[in-house]
């Protein structure tokens, strides 16, 4: 068994989906969280000088998209064939498109613009995103199971994590019915339920 060390800041951010994936896989890993000062000293040694970065035995893997797929492939969370892999990728891509809006708010310095962006997120972007997820979900088992195939995958974990993180800074609209069911299913997935109980918010 290789030794895994996930490096990030002391927040959820782009690392939490990877932490959740390790948890679902039942795979132990070192959850390294750098405070800012430590990060400044370590930064030059990290490929691309960005976090998250995953160390697997000696090797360093940068780029959150690469890390999440690496872990997903390693632990059967990426679908079982090209069609399923692709379904996971479509959901990752859709999520990234949505996250651009959420992240833009975070970086906006002008308070008036920030408020406008937040309003647009809550009134337009979030409902559109949820509606799209509902459609995608219904393509599989009429939306009564997971996003891909017959078991939990990176897609379910990622969507849960996004709703959790965005929900902390914006008012989420009500979940459409199948998506609401999926979110509950993920929160109550035994290994995730256990992890969330320890993590709290």
Least distance between another protein and beta carbon 85 (Å): 6
Contact assessment for residue 184 and residue 148, using Cβ atoms and an 8 Å cutoff: no
The residues near 151 (Cβ < 8 Å, ≥ 6 apart) are 76
Site string for another protein, 90-119 (x = CB under 8 A): x-xxx-x-----------------------
Site string for another protein, 133-152 (x = CB under 8 A): --x-----------------
Examine residue 42 and tell whether it contacts another protein (CB under 8 A). Answer: no
Q: Please tell me what DSSP assigns to residue 200.
A: -
Least distance between another protein and beta carbon 95 (Å): 10
Among 25, 46, 61, 104, binds another protein (CB under 8 A): 61
Examine residue 65 and tell whether it contacts another protein (CB under 8 A). Answer: yes
Specify the residue, 72 or 196, whose C-beta has the smaller distance to another protein: 72
Compute the distance between CA of residue 101 and CA of residue 124 in angstroms, rounded to an integer.
Answer: 11
Q: Which residues of 52-68 are buried (b: 16+ CB within 10 A; e: fewer)?
A: bbbbbeeeebbbbeebb
Compute CA distances 12 → 2, 18, 38, 43, 69, whole Å.
24, 10, 18, 19, 18
Both tokens of 134, joined, read: 């509902």
Among 34, 46, 89, 120, binds another protein (CB under 8 A): 89
Compute the distance between CA of residue 90 and CA of residue 147 in angstroms, rounded to an integer.
Answer: 11
Among 32, 69, 125, 178, binds another protein (CB under 8 A): 69
Q: Site residues (CB under 8 A) for another protein?
A: 47-48, 61-66, 69-70, 73-74, 82, 85-86, 89-90, 92-94, 96, 132, 135
């Amino acid at each position: 068994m290789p030794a895994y060390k996930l490096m990030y800041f002391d927040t959820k951010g782009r690392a939490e989906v990877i932490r959740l994936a390790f948890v679902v896989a039942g795979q132990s890993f070192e959850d390294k969280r750098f405070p800012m000062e430590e990060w400044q000293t370590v930064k030059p040694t990290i490929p691309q000088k960005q976090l998250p970065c995953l160390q697997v035995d000696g090797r360093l893997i940068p780029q959150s998209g690469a890390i999440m797929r690496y872990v997903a492939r390693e632990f059967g969370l990426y679908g079982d064939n090209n069609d399923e892999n692709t379904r996971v990728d479509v959901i990752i891509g859709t999520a990234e498109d949505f996250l651009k809006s959420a992240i833009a708010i975070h970086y906006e310095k002008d308070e008036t613009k920030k408020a406008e962006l937040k309003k647009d997120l809550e009134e337009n972007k979030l409902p559109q995103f949820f509606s799209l997820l509902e459609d995608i979900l219904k393509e599989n088992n009429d939306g009564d199971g997971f996003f891909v195939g017959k078991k939990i995958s990176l897609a379910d974990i990622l969507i849960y994590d996004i709703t959790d993180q965005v929900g902390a800074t914006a008012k989420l609209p009500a979940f459409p019915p199948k998506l609401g069911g999926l979110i509950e299913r993920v929160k109550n997935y035994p290994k995730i339920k256990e992890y969330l109980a320890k993590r709290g918010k």
